[in-house]
Amino acid sequence: MLDYECYKGPEDRKLDTESCGKIVLRNKNLGLEQYRFLLQTITNSGIGEETYGPKNIIEGKEDSPSLEDALSEIDDIMFSTLDKLFERTGISPSEIDILIVNVSLFAPAPSLTARVVNRYKMRHDIKAFNLSGMGCSASVVAVDLVQHLFKSYKKAFAVVVSTESIGPNWYCGKEKSMILSNCLFRSGGCSMLLTNNRALKHRAILKLNHSLRTHLGANDEAYRCCIQVEDDLGYVGFLLTRGLTRNASQALSMNLRELLPKVLPLWELLRCVFKSITRNRNKCFTEAIGAILNLKAGVDHFCIHPGGKAVIDGIGKSLGLTDYDLEPARMALHRFGNTSAGGLWYVLGYMEAKKRLKKGDRILMISLGAGFKCNNCVWEVLRDLKDVNVWKDSIDHYPPPKAPVNPFLEKYSWINDEYLRFVKLQ
């Protein structure tokens, strides 16, 4: 990897407590039960007040998004990050051999890759791929695809753009399991430049050592635990079921069972074998990792998808990670929210801005997404990294001091008042 560029929205697109409240109250399908659920969810979400939302949501057009709204949202993220990426690296768009764009919930024709090719007047022989429906783990899928393509194309440049279409996919119904996505997902994305030209190794920041993809789509429960559906009122949204946690754990377990032997030294694997003999063999592999494996023997940093507080805490507990290890994911979630496939790169950016990444360090990227999929990879840091990147204006304020009262709870705690059960909310 030569460089990456994360998206940062304008100030007028920030979703603070007040603007979030206005958006929620505009939905006339919601009642007291849903309001209380939303308050509890956002209070415990780990998301702060400086995340970014799509323009059509900010302007109150979430119930009638247009094609122009969807294209405008994606164009802003793709082109602003690509412009900066090409400028920073000095690589011309005409030099790009492979282009991959992944946006799960928006697939117009011509494709988004065609839109990028047209904007930058790229070569006629460029290998363009448009990935849709791949969920939050699509970014690692794209990197893995590049790795395989590099086996056929030598001394090539590849660009990967990872983002999500939030505006046209805002849920306007009242089902709790579908409202959840409105609380977590925010605008964001990232563009990356990769190469297999060894002559440019001195310019590279990261080297991909391992990549492994696990897919549980053959299992009906796993397939349906995170899925786009239509509710009884005809509103389309993303359904997150109670089986999500269980299937995420299973996918992660299966992936790490195959990936870790490639990452950890032999002596640590042998120690794990001897130690596991005395432990409960009925335990899930991920539940046992933190107790019997020292992941620090082969991994220095953990770049976890900031999908939500429960996701981060659950992975941390399973792998026996410390608060220091989980800090980058928690802070990325707090500052930028769940930006879907682009989320991992905000976590990486935090590590770099905090000057944690030193030459020779190894980074384990963990991503989970609809399908259900677990796609992980291991990067090696090729030189000391210290660019403050997208965190430039906020890194000195992180980790933030813990507020005595959550701002959402402070402003809307009245929703939990018992007397409201007898009042009809308009």
**pLDDT tens track for 172-221:** 999 989 998 898 999 999 999 999 999 999 999 999 999 999 999 999 99
**Alpha-carbon distance 24 to 37, whole Å?**
12
pLDDT of res. 158: 98
Q: Are 58 and 13 in contact (CB under 8 A)?
A: yes
Per-residue pLDDT tens digits for 306-316: 998 988 999 99
Helix or strand (DSSP H, E) at 128? strand 127-131
User: Per CATH, is 3-206 categorized as 3.30.70.990?
Assistant: no
Between the alpha carbon of residue 119 and those of residues 43, 76, 116, 125, 128, the distances in Å are 41, 12, 5, 16, 14
Q: Find where tokens 């949204």 sit.
A: 237
Same fold, 3-206 and 209-395: yes
pLDDT of res. 54: 94
Look at the alpha carbons of 385, 387, 393, 396 in this order and tell me if their dihedral is positive or negative. Answer: positive
Vertex 5 angle, CA 131 and 75, to 5°? 55
Does residue 167 carry a pLDDT above 70?
A: yes
User: Per CATH, is 209-395 categorized as 3.40.50.970?
Assistant: no
Mean residue pLDDT across the chain: 90
Identify which has the larger pLDDT, 401 or 129: 129
**Alpha-carbon distance 216 to 252, whole Å?**
10
Between the alpha carbon of residue 131 and those of residues 137, 142, 261, the distances in Å are 11, 8, 30
Q: Are 167 and 65 in contact (CB under 8 A)?
A: yes
Per-residue pLDDT tens digits for 354-371: 999 999 999 999 999 998
Identify which has the larger pLDDT, 278 or 13: 13
Between the alpha carbon of residue 409 and those of residues 17, 48, 77, 125, 319, the distances in Å are 9, 12, 31, 55, 32
pLDDT of res. 285: 53
Per-residue pLDDT tens digits for 214-232: 999 999 999 999 999 999 9
Per-residue pLDDT tens digits for 230-253: 999 999 999 988 888 889 989 999
For residue 238, whether the previous peptide bond is cis, meaning omega lies within 30 degrees of 0, is no
Identify the burial level of 95 via C-beta atoms within 10 angstroms of its C-beta, where 0-12 means exposed, 13-18 middle and 19 or more buried: middle
Does residue 317 carry a pLDDT above 80?
A: yes
Per-residue pLDDT tens digits for 374-398: 999 999 999 999 999 999 999 999 9
Residues acting as catalytic residues: 136, 215, 301, 305, 334, 338
**Alpha-carbon distance 56 to 378, whole Å?**
37
CA 195 to the chain's CA centroid: 23
Vertex 136 angle, CA 133 and 141, to 5°? 75
Domain ranges of the chain: 3-206, 209-395
Instruction: State the pTM of this model.
Output: 0.93
**3-state DSSP helix/strand/coil % of the chain, to nearest 5:** 50, 20, 35
Average pLDDT value for residue range 148-165: 96
Q: What confidence tier does 323 reach under pLDDT thresholds 50, 70, 90?
A: very high
Comparing 47-51, 58-62, 152-156, 269-273, the range with the smallest average pLDDT is: 269-273
Q: What confidence tier does 275 reach under pLDDT thresholds 50, 70, 90?
A: low
**Alpha-carbon distance 81 to 6, whole Å?**
6
Q: Which long-range contacts (CB under 8 A, 24 or more apart) does 312-316 make?
A: 312/46, 314/245, 314/248, 314/249, 315/252, 315/366
Per-residue pLDDT tens digits for 86-143: 999 999 999 999 999 999 999 999 999 999 999 999 999 999 999 999 989 999 999 9
Does residue 415 carry a pLDDT above 80?
A: no
Q: Find where tokens 């399991």 sit.
A: 177
Average pLDDT value for residue range 72-81: 97
